[in-house]
Amino acid sequence: MIRNKTLRQHAFPVALFAALASTGLRAQSPEAVPAEPAPPPGQVLFSTDAVKAAPASTTAPDKAPDTPVTDAERSSVAITATDLDLHLAAPHAEAQATLTIRNIGSAPLVRIPLQLSSALRWQSIAAGSASGLRPVPFTQSPIATDTDHTGYAQEAVLTPVEPLAPDATLTLTIFYAGDLRQSAARLELLGSPADRAAFADWDQAAADWIGLRGFGNVLWYPVAAPTALLGDANRLFEVVGQQRLQQESATFHLRLTVEYAGEAPSVAIFNGRTQPLDKLDDTQDAPVAETHGVATADFGTHPTGFRSPSLFVPPQPAVVTGGELLAVVTPISESIEPLAAAAAEVQPLLQDWLGPTPTQPLTVLDHPGQSFEDDALLVTPLDPNATADDLSAQAVHGLAHSWLRSSQPWINEGVAQFMNLLWIERKLGRPAVVAELQHQATLVALAEPDLTTPKASATESSSQSTELGQPLVHSSSEVFFRNKAAAVFWQLRDIVGDDTLKRALQAYRHSEQLNPAFDTDPKAFQHTLERLAKRDLNWFFDDWVYRDRSLPDLTILSVAPRPLPDRPGKNAGYLVAVEVHNEGDAVAEVPVTVRNGTFTATERLRIPGGGTASTRIVFEGAPDQVQVNDGTVPELRNSIHTREVQVKITRP
């Protein structure tokens, strides 16, 4: 009795399908639905009668709308809540979804486009109202887009009873089904070799592995998004980032049912959250190979966060190792040791900067495909012949997410990337990390906007941004929320010092653990750091975090050495005046160094955007070079500036 009750909680409600049929959906078909044969005797573990109860007529045949859908229409639709019942019997998927749709455009929507993978088909769509569910007419047809690994999405274009007004919402109940097989068609269409394409596009629901990475890889849940093709410059990655940003506050509730044969899966991982599966079978006394059953999990309603919703069901339980730093799923136990050694090697760095212990282990799924991460989840190929040095960079980044997590992407990813930089410095030295910072600065400079371009006028649609670039608090590109954010933390390290930044990161982590809503305030980290540093930092955060003022662009205007008068017991020296201009719009605080051979003297200088600043440095001896910026503050062009100094020795 308990088993049957639990199973019904994860089956599709037959009554709902019956309600849809009784409201007129059946009338769309010229043929009557044949009666189902009586079920065979015995206990039913899981029934798909709910899906069968929806008449075949509810599945619209492929028919493109008379007027093509525009990306402007697609961009005006936001899904603010998803409640999904998903049943997987590999490779088949059947699902019921309740969606809350919002019009985020400036004009009423007379039709609403939604997309799934082209491997799936829309079966029925109904809208909720005070009188119950009402079927909504729709067409469906494939559209070319590389947001799905097949290179196409199955787009349903539905016509609401009344146009959906701006900012109004509509609740839809949807049924869809199909096979989620591995496909690399989008890459093969571009001429990629089949093996390389399969290495990148590995998403599938198979009997021994379920891995679905979501928007940008496989559309296993309904979405509303513009089209994007891989051959169109950076368009696909921009659309993926924008979709993540738009959906980060949307909620998602997943009820999962997985049919299995043989060894039952033990856990499911949804959006980086691991949950045990409840297993039910009717063959307890049979050998494992002959066991059949279902495994279920209920992932309660949570904000999606800055991610594409992902789902994994690994084939075996994880092995917890590395002092509980790691939870590794791999068929080759020898693959664990190199990763555990790498984790142990980077652990002292993470403890020093982020606190004594992680908040959770890093879950690692050994899978022979392109690596994927989602907070403290890492899907990557493991090699038993690898060394700790081979894996240390991957380990420090992944474990940083185990130590600290934030709902602010620039903090969540920026801190992890910052830990990578600190590891390079510790392992390879200062020159190596400066070279890496300069490489990342080049990527950021290429992505930054041209601030000389006129901004959008105030009369333009409110859905269009009037601000150029990507402020870190609203960034959707990895170049910004990883590379530029890491550069921000590196600069803060130089501005406030190592000890203060360490205490701020640990205090921020502690506050977030006590109150997860703490870091929903985009200024929470600034306030934490200012409290501990006992200084105002708004001048920095305003240009580098809350606004995108591009990057600084420094030039040495003048260097003027002046001999100092002789002083008893002191070497004769010079007062070196250095004037620097910032052609860029972002403020820069950089080191200014005077040197002669190995002897140096350094002062920090803050140069406002579009402004000029100067400093005077007392230097014992005759200076022969001045350097402004040491490569650690990213600039639009060079991030190291030098000027040779020639002085005339006039003293007797």
Cβ count near 159 (within 10 Å): 14
For the domain made up of 554-644, give the CATH fold: Immunoglobulin-like (2.60.40)
Distance, in Å, from the CA atom of 358 to the CA atom of 405, rounded to the nearest integer, reads 10
Q: Position of tokens 């934030």?
A: 406
- Edge-first strand order for the sheet with 204-206 is 204-206, 209-212, 311-313, 267-270, 273-276
Backbone conformation region of residue 167, classed left if phi is above 0, alpha if psi is from -120 to 50, else beta: left
To the nearest whole number, what is the mean pLDDT of the chain?
88
Is the pLDDT confidence value at 267 over 60? yes
CATH number of 411-546: 1.10.390
- What is the pLDDT confidence band of residue 39, given thresholds at 50, 70 and 90? very low
Is the pLDDT confidence value at 24 over 60? no
Residue 95, H or E segment? strand 92-103
The stretch 5-11 carries a mean pLDDT of 31
Cβ count near 364 (within 10 Å): 29
- What are the sequence ranges of the domains in the chain? 2-313, 319-403, 411-546, 554-644
Cβ count near 481 (within 10 Å): 27
Q: Dihedral (C-alpha) 385, 387, 388, 394: value to the nearest 10 degrees?
A: -70
The secondary structure of 24-63 as a DSSP string is TGGGG-SSPPPPPPPPPSS--S---HHHHHS-GGGSPPB-
How does pLDDT run across 499-529, given as a tens digit for each residue?
999 999 999 999 988 888 898 999 999 999 9
Nearest to 148 by CA among 210, 236, 79: 236
How does pLDDT run across 603-644, given as a tens digit for each residue?
999 999 999 999 999 998 899 999 999 999 999 999 999 999
Nearest to 154 by CA among 30, 253, 44, 60: 60
Is the pLDDT confidence value at 284 over 60? yes
pLDDT-wise least confident of 68-82, 283-297, 437-451, 610-624? 283-297
pLDDT the model gives residue 239: 97
Distance, in Å, from the CA atom of 571 to the CA atom of 73, rounded to the nearest integer, reads 74
Cβ count near 422 (within 10 Å): 23
pLDDT the model gives residue 59: 61
Cβ count near 587 (within 10 Å): 20
- What is the pLDDT confidence band of residue 570, given thresholds at 50, 70 and 90? low
Angle between helices 498-514 and 485-496 (to 10 degrees): 120
Instruction: Take residue 67 and report the two structure tokens written for it.
Output: 């007027």
Residue 88 β-bridge partners: 93, 258
Nearest to 271 by CA among 302, 295, 316: 302
Instruction: Take residue 504 and report the two structure tokens written for it.
Output: 């701020």
Is the pLDDT confidence value at 266 over 90? yes
Cβ atoms 20, 135 nearer than 8 A: yes
Integer distance in angstroms from the first to the last C-alpha of the chain? 105
Instruction: Take residue 232 and report the two structure tokens written for it.
Output: 């169109």
Cβ atoms 548, 556 nearer than 8 A: no
The stretch 190-199 carries a mean pLDDT of 96
- What is the pLDDT confidence band of residue 362, given thresholds at 50, 70 and 90? very high
**Which one-letter amino acid corresponds to residue 482?**
R
pLDDT-wise least confident of 127-141, 175-189, 375-389, 572-586? 127-141
Cβ atoms 349, 313 nearer than 8 A: no
pLDDT the model gives residue 395: 96
Is the pLDDT confidence value at 4 over 60? no
Interacting residues of 44 by C-beta distance below 8 A, sequence separation 6+: none
pLDDT the model gives residue 453: 56
pTM: 0.86
Distance, in Å, from the CA atom of 420 to the CA atom of 436, rounded to the nearest integer, reads 10
- What is the pLDDT confidence band of residue 441, given thresholds at 50, 70 and 90? very high
pLDDT the model gives residue 292: 85
Please name the residue ranges forming H helices in 54-179.
71-75
Question: CA separation (Å) from 608 to 320, 554, 576, 581?
Answer: 51, 10, 21, 9
Cβ atoms 95, 87 nearer than 8 A: yes
pLDDT the model gives residue 19: 33
Distance, in Å, from the CA atom of 42 to the CA atom of 112, rounded to the nearest integer, reads 44
Cβ atoms 204, 211 nearer than 8 A: yes
Is the pLDDT confidence value at 26 over 90? no
Distance, in Å, from the CA atom of 96 to the CA atom of 176, rounded to the nearest integer, reads 7
How does pLDDT run across 150-174, given as a tens digit for each residue?
999 999 999 999 999 999 999 999 9
CATH 3.30.2010 fits 319-403, yes or no: yes
Cβ count near 118 (within 10 Å): 23
The stretch 247-259 carries a mean pLDDT of 97
DSSP helix, strand, coil percent of the chain (3-state; round to 5): 30, 30, 40
Say how many CA atoms lie within 13 Å of 135 toward its Cβ.
23
How does pLDDT run across 44-99, given as a tens digit for each residue?
333 434 333 333 335 667 889 999 999 999 999 999 999 999 999 999 999 999 99
Distance, in Å, from the CA atom of 65 to the CA atom of 322, rounded to the nearest integer, reads 56
